[in-house]
Amino acid sequence: MESGPAIFAGTTFALFGAGILLWTGARVLHGRPVALGARPKAAITVTTLSGVVFLALGLWCFGRM
């Protein structure tokens, strides 16, 4: 019973982190702004760091099963 929430949380975190990283990469590759009104390098850094953190949380959740 306890592995169900861990699977759900791990999947959610991993998909969100991967989505953020893919979206950021596509925006940077096409030369589009990542966040409107923000400095480009700061926005790229913050979104990439967030994506990595969410992927790490997903892996941590899968490791707790």
Please report the DSSP string for 3-62 in residue order: HHHHHHHHHHHHHHHHHHHHHHHHHHHTT--SSTTS-HHHHHHHHHHHHHHHHHHHHHHH
Domain spans of the chain, in order of start: 3-63
- Higher-pLDDT residue of 42 and 65 is 42
Convert the pLDDT of each residue in 16-57 to its tens digit.
Answer: 999 999 999 999 999 999 999 999 999 999 999 999 999 999
Q: What is the pLDDT of residue 1?
A: 55
The residue written with tokens 């592995």 in the block is 3
Convert the pLDDT of each residue in 2-21 to its tens digit.
Answer: 788 889 999 999 999 999 99
Q: What is the pLDDT of residue 5?
A: 85
Report pTM.
Answer: 0.85
